[in-house]
């Protein structure tokens, strides 16, 4: 195997060169061919229509839906009216699900990396049997030589459950997903330290009943997580007082009573000043704090020095605005929600910022109260009986090497680092549904080094995303519209189950994740963990334990269940929180014991060097990261990202609306071209772009090289010492004008 890494002249090459060859999949060249399936169709709804329930996978919100096929052809996907989680509606991306199914650039057959006589590495197509045998043989070698715990799973998305099961059955507990270290980890750890519980997904925000909502970042409306948008709209219909803290005039900022265009990175100072005002003016919920919280006196002493006047100098937010907004929050409490956010890996002090948000909510008495953060509940769904997993010799903490004491989940970057070198802990990876090079900023050199060291890299994906170029074996999964997955059972207001089942037969030679995991399991001698022929049996068994059945769910798609516990605390109710003290911990002894600030402290962020701007990034409504940019339906709506530039910057640099520029960072990285959008909606010290563009994979023929990739420009990362989060916002860029 190692011989593959040497050229014919013995010159050492990268162990795995990134394979850029286009046209590997035996496709015709013309991308517009994809539209053929949609052409010349008679009026929709006239033919024979088949309606199949599913839940959406275009992002991670999982809205229940019905897919319609007419005369055997894809027609439309619409929301399921019985689904309280989506309120029966889909967003733009959800309705474009057929575009994922129809994408002609999809992975079609298993691929195995080979080195040609000329030393050039490429993929060759293989049968499933060959690809699976190849993987199983190498995994067995890893197990014999090093132990099963040396396999890591890097995963994202709902279908990953099948591979988590496989990896656990094999004997590894090293599982990491970008949803932790690149997304909501700091928030969930910050809230767990404070309340003993995470916020989780979907967020337990009771916005429809809120009378005051504070959004810090959280650009809901551009961030299109369905029910978040709808309940924010409900709140606005009810005349909620909306306060948005964002350096950019975001969509919710435009709907707000107060927009606080904060200096980037200074949010903790603002949060501490709000606490200062609430305590100083006696506006906090005294009864709630006395009953439920511990550490108030320490908090009071701590925030005394964060006066609005001092904080104004840091944040640029006028003292009077800080006071007035704090009073608005108090007037509406406890129906005041300081939104916990979701993508919270910003400046490296993110767990502490999330702690500050958690503490502010406590002062307002909003946790467990109507209009604040409700008690979430899921369905008690029995697990299909399989044997206990073997005890893994080590888990993901082996990768952390004593760092990140509050990481309750694998840190992707740490797992990747712990895979570099001959003595590395990890020897094999399965990568499922995550496009590591674009998802984890700053990782490319380490990723290449890890790939060079590992004995086996398997990538399971639907598309020829950049990550597939690093694999030894690429396994083509079919899309969510062609498979069963586990029932959706997320904790929220009303417990519910939703069904995902095949709408179509898998296209090409792609296969469902459950089938791939089972086939690998059998080859690894783990048959007893996969005692089903079809995953439908598992779902049917689970449903029957609850008095329902697959048969019923195929008709209704979603089933709502009664709650067993109240949604909110009763007045004066005794509550024991799952923290060490049993109370809401305003002061955290757990943090103090590990040498961290027990109450959040503010540290001044770095300012951009002369001629540089903060690199700000976020979502655009029409796309989910990089995974939908090649979808022809969404491409038509939003083909590229743009660079938001303040008019002052535009005039200083002679930039005009619509022209292409490049961005350069202080480490010499230069981006793809990106189109300028001149707008007052961004501060002059920052530029903004949506994440998910600038794909380098030539096999993504629509979106290849279109727009710029924020990840490439993020070479300076601030790692959260508490839990390993990748702080991405401390990066600066300058603008290079370019004649096109
Ligand atoms: N359409 C669409 N919707 C999505 C997704 C998608 O890909 N596409 N992804 C989903 C996922 S997984 C996530 S995690 C969420 C992420 O969505 P959010 O959790 O809303 O992301 P944030 O990073 O909080 O918000 C970005 C906002 O923060 C602002 N910002 C930048 N710097 C600062 C700062 O220093 N202080 C403050 N106060 N604000 C700042 C930016 O200007 C921008 O408006 O979106 C979800 N929704
Ligand atoms: N620079 C930068 N980095 C970020 C962010 C950012 O805003 N800027 N956001 C962060 C956040 S909040 C998050 S949550 C993460 C998201 O990180 P990822 O989940 O890695 O996001 P994507 O880039 O969309 O990659 C998804 C991959 O899954 C594949 N895929 C899609 N559907 C399926 C399927 O059904 N089965 C399989 N097997 N594969 C499938 C896609 O083809 C693609 O390769 O990124 C984080 N990283
Ligand atoms: S929010 Fe949109 S993309 Fe996400 S699951 Fe729901 S419909 Fe699909
Ligand atoms: Mo995320």
Query: Is the pLDDT reported for residue 30 higher than 70?
Result: no
- Confirm if 49 and 73 have CB atoms less than 8 A apart: no
Same-domain pairing of 340 and 203? yes
For tokens 């995953």, what's the residue? 535
> Which band of pLDDT confidence, cut at 50, 70 and 90, is reported for residue 16?
low
Distance CA 375, CA 366 (A): 11
Facing residues of 214 across strands?
243, 338
Domain presence at residue 104? no
* pLDDT of res. 18: 54
Query: Is the pLDDT reported for residue 29 higher than 90?
Result: no
Domain presence at residue 118? no
Q: Which ligand is nearest to the CA of 621?
A: 1
Q: Looking at ligand 3, which residue's alpha carbon is closest to its atom 8? A: 94
Same-domain pairing of 645 and 575? no
> Which band of pLDDT confidence, cut at 50, 70 and 90, is reported for residue 439?
very high
Q: Average pLDDT, stretch 439-466?
A: 97
Q: Length of the chain, please?
A: 740
Ligand 2 binding pocket includes 514 (Cβ within 6 Å) = no
> Which band of pLDDT confidence, cut at 50, 70 and 90, is reported for residue 357?
very high
Ligand 3 binding pocket includes 225 (Cβ within 6 Å) = yes
Distance CA 588, CA 65 (A): 43
* pLDDT of res. 641: 98
Same-domain pairing of 193 and 275? yes
* Both structure tokens of 30: 């013309």
Q: Is 411 helix (H, G, I), strand (E, B) or coil?
A: coil
Nearest CA to 206 out of 184, 183, 235 is that of 235
| Cα 689 to averaged position of ligand 1 atoms, centre (Å) | 11
Distance CA 121, CA 125 (A): 13
Nearest CA to 495 out of 417, 429, 441, 548 is that of 548
Which pairing describes strands 121-125 and 151-155: parallel, antiparallel, or unpaired?
unpaired
Ligand 2 binding pocket includes 685 (Cβ within 6 Å) = no
| Cα 59 to averaged position of ligand 2 atoms, centre (Å) | 9
Domain presence at residue 31? no
Distance CA 56, CA 115 (A): 39
Distance CA 363, CA 278 (A): 8
Nearest CA to 675 out of 630, 652, 706 is that of 706
Q: Average pLDDT, stretch 359-375?
A: 98
Same-domain pairing of 573 and 640? no
Q: What is the position in ligand 2's atom list of the atom closest to the CA of 436?
A: 20
* pLDDT of res. 28: 29
Nearest-5° Cα angle at 375, 370 to 377: 135
Q: Within 10 Å of residue 52's Cβ, how many Cβ atoms?
A: 19
Same-domain pairing of 323 and 192? yes
Nearest-5° Cα angle at 532, 530 to 537: 135
| Cα 218 to averaged position of ligand 1 atoms, centre (Å) | 5
| Cα 678 to averaged position of ligand 2 atoms, centre (Å) | 29
Query: Is the pLDDT reported for residue 9 higher than 90?
Result: no
Query: Is the pLDDT reported for residue 42 higher than 70?
Result: no
Query: Is the pLDDT reported for residue 26 higher than 50?
Result: no
Distance CA 536, CA 550 (A): 8
Query: Is the pLDDT reported for residue 88 higher than 80?
Result: yes
Which domain covers residue 633, as residue numbers?
613-737
Nearest CA to 418 out of 389, 395, 391 is that of 395
Query: Is the pLDDT reported for residue 111 higher than 70?
Result: yes
Q: Average pLDDT, stretch 569-592?
A: 97
- Confirm if 482 and 507 have CB atoms less than 8 A apart: yes
Ligand 3 binding pocket includes 220 (Cβ within 6 Å) = no
Residue 571, C-beta contacts closer than 8 angstroms, at least 6 positions apart: none
Cα distances from 533 to residues 280, 484, 504, in angstroms, run 65, 13, 19
More confident residue, 490 or 664: 664
Q: For a pocket test of ligand 3, which of 225, 500, 619 has the largest count of ligand atoms closer than 8 A to its C-beta?
A: 225
Distance CA 228, CA 220 (A): 7
* pLDDT of res. 6: 27
Same-domain pairing of 289 and 248? yes
Q: Looking at ligand 2, which residue's alpha carbon is closest to its atom 1? A: 711
Same-domain pairing of 618 and 723? yes
CATH number at residue 280: 3.40.228.10
Domain presence at residue 281? yes
Ligand 3 binding pocket includes 619 (Cβ within 6 Å) = no
Domain presence at residue 361? yes
Nearest CA to 367 out of 510, 173, 198, 218 is that of 198
Q: What is the position in ligand 2's atom list of the atom closest to the CA of 343?
A: 12
CATH number at residue 644: 2.40.40.20
Which of residues 541, 558, 593 is at a domain's end?
593
Q: What is the position in ligand 1's atom list of the atom closest to the CA of 616?
A: 31
Same-domain pairing of 253 and 315? yes
Q: What is the position in ligand 3's atom list of the atom closest to the CA of 62?
A: 5
* Both structure tokens of 664: 């350069």
> Which band of pLDDT confidence, cut at 50, 70 and 90, is reported for residue 46?
confident
- Supply the mean pLDDT for the chain: 94
Q: Average pLDDT, stretch 259-265?
A: 97
Distance CA 315, CA 319 (A): 10
Ligand 3 binding pocket includes 95 (Cβ within 6 Å) = no
Q: For a pocket test of ligand 1, which of 618, 627, 732 has the largest count of ligand atoms closer than 8 A to its C-beta?
A: 618
| Cα 627 to averaged position of ligand 2 atoms, centre (Å) | 6
- DSSP one-letter string for 493-533: SS-EEE----SSPPPTT-B-HHHHHHHHHHHTT-GGG---S
Q: Average pLDDT, stretch 471-488?
A: 98
Query: Is the pLDDT reported for residue 611 higher than 80?
Result: yes
Cα distances from 217 to residues 339, 499, 539, 732, in angstroms, run 9, 33, 39, 18
Domain count for the chain: 2
> Which band of pLDDT confidence, cut at 50, 70 and 90, is reported for residue 5?
very low
Nearest CA to 530 out of 290, 616, 538, 279 is that of 538
Ligand 3 binding pocket includes 499 (Cβ within 6 Å) = no
Cα distances from 574 to residues 130, 237, 289, in angstroms, run 60, 34, 13
| Cα 222 to averaged position of ligand 4 atoms, centre (Å) | 13
Q: Give the lowest-confidence range in 7-21, 312-326, 692-706.
A: 7-21
Same-domain pairing of 295 and 239? yes
Distance CA 16, CA 32 (A): 32
Q: Within 10 Å of residue 84's Cβ, how many Cβ atoms?
A: 16
Domain presence at residue 121? no
pTM: 0.94
Alpha carbon 611 to its chain's center: 32
Distance CA 472, CA 142 (A): 15
Q: SS3 string of 167-189? A: HHHHCCECEECHHHHHHHHHHHH
Q: What is the position in ligand 1's atom list of the atom closest to the CA of 60?
A: 12
* pLDDT of res. 117: 87
Ligand 2 binding pocket includes 712 (Cβ within 6 Å) = no
Distance CA 186, CA 353 (A): 8
Cα distances from 9 to residues 12, 18, 113, 118, 120, in angstroms, run 9, 20, 20, 10, 12
Same-domain pairing of 575 and 670? no
Query: Is the pLDDT reported for residue 8 higher than 90?
Result: no
Nearest CA to 226 out of 371, 95, 338 is that of 95
Q: Is 589 helix (H, G, I), strand (E, B) or coil?
A: helix
Ligand 3 binding pocket includes 488 (Cβ within 6 Å) = no
More confident residue, 18 or 480: 480
Nearest CA to 388 out of 572, 169, 230, 643 is that of 169
Domain presence at residue 690? yes
| Cα 625 to averaged position of ligand 2 atoms, centre (Å) | 6
> Which band of pLDDT confidence, cut at 50, 70 and 90, is reported for residue 14?
low
Same-domain pairing of 587 and 693? no
Query: Is the pLDDT reported for residue 478 higher than 90?
Result: yes
Same-domain pairing of 585 and 634? no
* pLDDT of res. 4: 35
Domain presence at residue 524? no
């Amino acid at each position: 195997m190692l011989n593959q890494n040497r050229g014919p002249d013995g010159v050492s090459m990268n162990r795995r060169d990134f394979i850029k060859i286009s046209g590997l999949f035996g496709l015709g060249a013309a991308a517009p061919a994809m539209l053929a399936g949609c052409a010349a169709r008679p009026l929709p709804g006239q033919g024979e229509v088949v309606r199949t329930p599913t839940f959406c996978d275009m992002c991670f919100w999982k809205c229940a839906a019905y897919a319609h096929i007419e005369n055997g052809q894809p027609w439309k996907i619409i929301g399921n009216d019985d689904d309280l989680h989506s309120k029966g509606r889909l967003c733009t991306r959800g309705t474009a699900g057929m575009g994922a199914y129809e994408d002609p650039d999809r992975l079609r057959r298993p691929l195995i990396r080979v080195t040609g006589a000329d030393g050039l590495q490429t993929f060759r197509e293989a049968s499933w049997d060959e690809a699976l045998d190849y993987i199983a043989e190498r995994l067995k070698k890893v197990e014999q030589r090093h132990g099963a715990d040396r396999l890591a799973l890097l995963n994202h998305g709902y279908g990953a459950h099948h591979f988590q099961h496989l990896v656990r059955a094999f004997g590894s507990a090293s599982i990491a997903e970008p949803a932790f270290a690149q997304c909501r980890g700091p928030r969930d750890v910050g809230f767990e330290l404070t309340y003993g519980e995470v916020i989780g997904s979907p967020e337990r925000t009771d916005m429809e009943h809120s009378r005051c909502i504070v959004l810090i970042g959280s650009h809901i409306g551009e961030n299109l997580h369905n029910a978040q948008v709808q309940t924010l709209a409900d709140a606005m219909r009810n005349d909620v007082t909306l306060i948005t803290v964002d350096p950019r005039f975001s969509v919710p900022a435009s709907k707000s009573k107060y927009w606080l265009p904060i200096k980037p990175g200074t949010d903790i100072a603002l949060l501490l000043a709000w606490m200062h005002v609430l305590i100083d003016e006696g506006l906090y919920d005294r009864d709630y704090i006395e009953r439920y919280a511990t550490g108030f006196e320490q908090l009071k002493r701590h925030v005394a020095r964060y006066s609005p006047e001092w904080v104004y100098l840091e944040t640029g937010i006028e003292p009077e605005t800080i006071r007035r907004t704090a009073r608005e929050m108090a007037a509406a409490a406890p129906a005041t929600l300081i939104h916990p956010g979701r993508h919270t890996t910003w400046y490296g002090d993110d767990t502490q910022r999330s702690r500050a948000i958690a503490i502010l909510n406590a002062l307002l008495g909003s946790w467990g109260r109507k209009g604040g953060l409700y008690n979430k509940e899921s369905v008690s769904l029995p697990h299909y009986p399989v044997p206990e997993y073997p005890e893994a010799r080590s888990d993901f903490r082996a990768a952390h090497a004593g760092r990140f004491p509050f990481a309750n989940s694998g840190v992707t970057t740490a797992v990747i680092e712990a895979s570099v070198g001959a003595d590395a802990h990890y020897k094999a990876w399965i990568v499922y549904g995550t496009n590591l090079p674009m998802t984890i900023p700053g990782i490319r050199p380490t990723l290449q080094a890890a790939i060079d060291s590992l004995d086996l890299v398997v990538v399971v994906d639907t598309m020829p995303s950049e990550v597939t170029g690093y694999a030894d074996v690429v396994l083509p999964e079919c899309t969510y519209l062609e498979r069963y997955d586990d029932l959706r059972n997320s904790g929220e207001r009303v417990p519910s189950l939703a069904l995902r089942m095949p709408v179509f037969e898998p296209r090409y030679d792609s296969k469902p994740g459950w089938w791939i995991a089972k086939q690998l399991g059998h080859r690894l001698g783990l048959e007893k963990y996969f005692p089903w022929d079809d995953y439908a049996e598992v779902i049917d068994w689970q449903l029957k334990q609850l008095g329902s059945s697959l048969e019923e769910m195929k008709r209704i798609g979603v089933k709502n269940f009664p709650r067993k516990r109240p949604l909110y605390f009763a007045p004066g109710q005794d509550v024991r929180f799952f923290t060490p003290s049993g109370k809401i911990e305003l002061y955290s002894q757990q943090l103090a014991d590990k040498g961290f600030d027990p109450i959040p402290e503010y540290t001044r962020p770095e300012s951009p060097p002369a001629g540089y701007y903060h690199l700000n990034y976020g979502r655009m409504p029409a796309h989910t990261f990089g995974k939908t940019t090649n979808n022809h339906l969404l491409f038509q709506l939003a083909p590229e990202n743009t660079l938001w530039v303040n008019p002052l910057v535009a005039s200083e640099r002679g930039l005009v609306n619509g022209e292409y520029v490049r961005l350069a960072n202080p480490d010499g990285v230069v981006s793809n071209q990106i189109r300028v959008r001149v707008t007052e909606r961004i501060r002059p010290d920052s530029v903004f772009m949506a994440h998910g563009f600038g794909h380098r994979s030539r096999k993504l023929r629509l979106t290849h090289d279109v727009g710029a990739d924020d990840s490439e420009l993020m070479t300076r990362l601030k790692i959260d010492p508490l839990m390993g989060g990748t702080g991405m916002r401390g990066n600066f860029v300058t603008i290079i004008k370019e004649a096109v």
